[in-house]
A = this chain, B = another copy of it.
Amino acid sequence: MSTLFLRTLREDPAEAEVPSHRLLVRAGYIRRVAPGGYAWLPLGRLVLDQVTRVVREEMIAIGVQEVSFPALLPREPYQRSGRWDEYGSEIFRLKDRRGADHLLGPTHEEMFTGLVRDLYSSYKDYPVSLFQVQWKFRDEARPRAGLLRGREFLMKDGYSFDLDDDGLAASYAGYRAAYQRIFERLGVEVRIVNATAGAMGGSASEEFLAPTPVGEDTFAACECGYAANIEAVTTPIPDSPNSRTPGESQVLDTPDTPTIDSLVDVLNTRRAGGHDGWQAADTLKNIVLTVDGELLIIGVPGDREVDLRRVEAALYPATVALFDDFGSRPDLVRGYLGPQGELKARYLVDPRVVPGSAWVTGANEPGRHAIDVVCGRDFTPDGTIEAVVVRTGDPCPRCAGPLELRRGVEVGHVFQLGRRYSDVFGLDALGPDGRPLRVTMGSYGIGLSRVLATVVEQHHDENGICWPTSVAPADVHLVGLGDREAVASLAGELERSGLRVLFDDRTGVSAGVRFADAELIGVPVVVVAGRRLAEGYVEVRERVGGTREDVAVGALAEAVRARLR
């Protein structure tokens, strides 16, 4: 440590918002050098190498082969797949000196598909599975949270290529199990949640979310074990459509009811339909959207807000926007829209709007609403859609128990792309009968630098980082307080025994500062070689738990090993 390129900080860096960012900077692992860009100092490189090593080992163990692609990619394949447009401002784009468009590749489905097509031609070549470890770039609107959301981050992306759906399912299961082993080895607690595929396309898809309060992703979880990200939560269909039997539909004058609440108040005051138990959940709110330029109206219970991200996920890959050009469509009476009569556009409803359910909704005339408008009698939707904001206490789709909303960091993602990319690039294998078989693909990612930060989020205390042994920059942190030569000789012995030693040989730094640094840096076992070294004893401290014990020098290596296990 007397020569290590390291400076620990006592104060939190001003810009650091989350514990991992604060601690990794303070303990001298990383340093911010640009917006969303970090330099990795020597200790930081060590822990990042540890994470990478574990991931690489588990990839090789399931037979995935390592390759490397350029990060700077030509536009053409991404234009063909549609992602050049889909990615919008999320990716970095640039022109070369000849004016040709390029991107800094976010993920490489297009390139891997092209490479396999280039090398392989026969069914005998398959299955094959490839991965790379690469620094990737994303033009984050607001780079924040240190390594959790940087503009340049290390990622392992893997791709499987199979001849049929069973093969894809087997590849997917292999990666999924490898990911579980990886996170277990790295000490990262994860929940595997159902996910929609987002901009990646495809069908089956799961995310590995690491629960932590600073996570940017919200997921729904139930005590029964169900977990899904918000886009993928499904709504169980309610048993009984209504608590009361609706009568004939009636139109009422309802002036000055600009909000659901004011409408409900008016209905209760007037005892509309003969009762005063009206609630927001009895009303049907109709939202007008454009989907790839076509009108779509969505009906949801009035006590619910529409979650546009869920709508987008449900309608992927279409482009969804709120419609606001009511001037051009006088038949759409803003604020008083209802689905009864002839439908004005495609009409989808929340799954709670079941056949037989009765609703208060707009009467398609200014200032008027209709009550007892019954689904299946007075209107017939074109289908259902998961469109509303998921709330704590909503019923679990598996067991109907109450859902809980939790925050997590997405550390891994596995999904079955199917034939989206092989269709675009014509990736076929010549089958045994001489006919082409279209290859089916999976895509599997782990954010390595993000995982590292997540380890810190899940393993720290008020004094610093508490690394799991698998990620720690060293096995043992040796603080030498006694005779310099004797301590140096002890450091050498520990190293020769195969332990990785971080040796604090600094002079002119107080013991208190050195102990504080050891806690901040977070190596699992701290050995203090002080006065009793002359008698042949040192103190062994565990970073987690804080136990301290004097150990004879002759038994030290084994004592350290025992604590690492």
Contact = CB atoms under 8 A, between A and B. Distances in A.
Contacts of A96: 92, 139, 151
Nearest to A111: B33
A160 to B, nearest CB: 12
Nearest to A151: B72
A563 interface: no
Q: Which of A72, A104, A137 has the most CB of B within 10 A?
A: A72
B94 A5 contact: no
Interface in A130-152: 130, 135, 137, 139, 141, 151-152
Contacts of A141: 97
A139 to B, nearest CB: 5
A113 to B, nearest CB: 11
A74 interface: yes
Nearest to A46: B66
Given A33-B69, A92-B94, A139-B97, A5 B128 contact: yes
A3 B556 CA distance: 46
Nearest to A66: B45
Given A97-B141, A119-B5, A130-B5, A45 B33 contact: no
Contacts of A31: 115, 118-119
A68 B94 contact: no
A402 interface: no
A76 to B, nearest CB: 9
A42 B6 CA distance: 36
A331 to B, nearest CB: 39
Interface in A54-101: 63, 65-74, 89, 92-94, 96-97, 100
A271 interface: no
A70 B128 contact: no
Contact of A37 (B41, B70, B118): B70
A10 to B, nearest CB: 15
Given A42-B66, A45-B66, A37 B72 contact: yes
Interface in A30-62: 31, 33-35, 37-42, 44-45, 48
Nearest to A96: B139
B152 A38 contact: no
Contacts of A6: 119
A270 interface: no
A42 to B, nearest CB: 5
B65 A40 contact: no
A367 interface: no
A251 B435 CA distance: 89
Contact of A152 (B40, B45, B70, B137): B70
Contacts of A318: none
Contacts of A41: 67
B94 A39 contact: no
A163 to B, nearest CB: 15
Interface size on A, as a range, is 35 or more
A67 B111 CA distance: 29
Contacts of A40: 67-69
Contacts of A45: 66-68
A187 interface: no
Interface string A399-420: 0000000000000000000000
Nearest to A115: B39
A117 to B, nearest CB: 11
Contacts of A104: 72
Contact of A39 (B42, B48, B70, B93): B70
A287 to B, nearest CB: 29
A4 interface: yes
Contacts of A152: 70-72
Nearest to A76: B34
A202 interface: no
A100 B35 CA distance: 11
A433 B92 CA distance: 49
Interface string A5-37: 111000000000000000000000001011101
Nearest to A97: B89
Contacts of A89: 97
A288 to B, nearest CB: 29
A65 B94 contact: no
B97 A33 contact: no
A114 interface: yes
A96 B138 CA distance: 10
A134 B443 CA distance: 25
Given A33-B114, A118-B31, A152-B72, A67 B94 contact: no
A6 B34 CA distance: 40
A127 to B, nearest CB: 10
Top 6 A-B pairs, shortest CB-CB distance: A94-B94, A37-B70, A40-B68, A89-B97, A70-B152, A7-B119
14 contacts: A3-B128, A5-B67, A5-B130, A6-B119, A7-B120, A33-B69, A34-B70, A37-B70, A40-B69, A45-B67, A71-B71, A71-B152, A92-B96, A96-B151
Given A35-B100, A39-B115, A92-B102, 6 more contacts: A5-B130, A38-B70, A42-B67, A45-B68, A72-B151, A96-B139
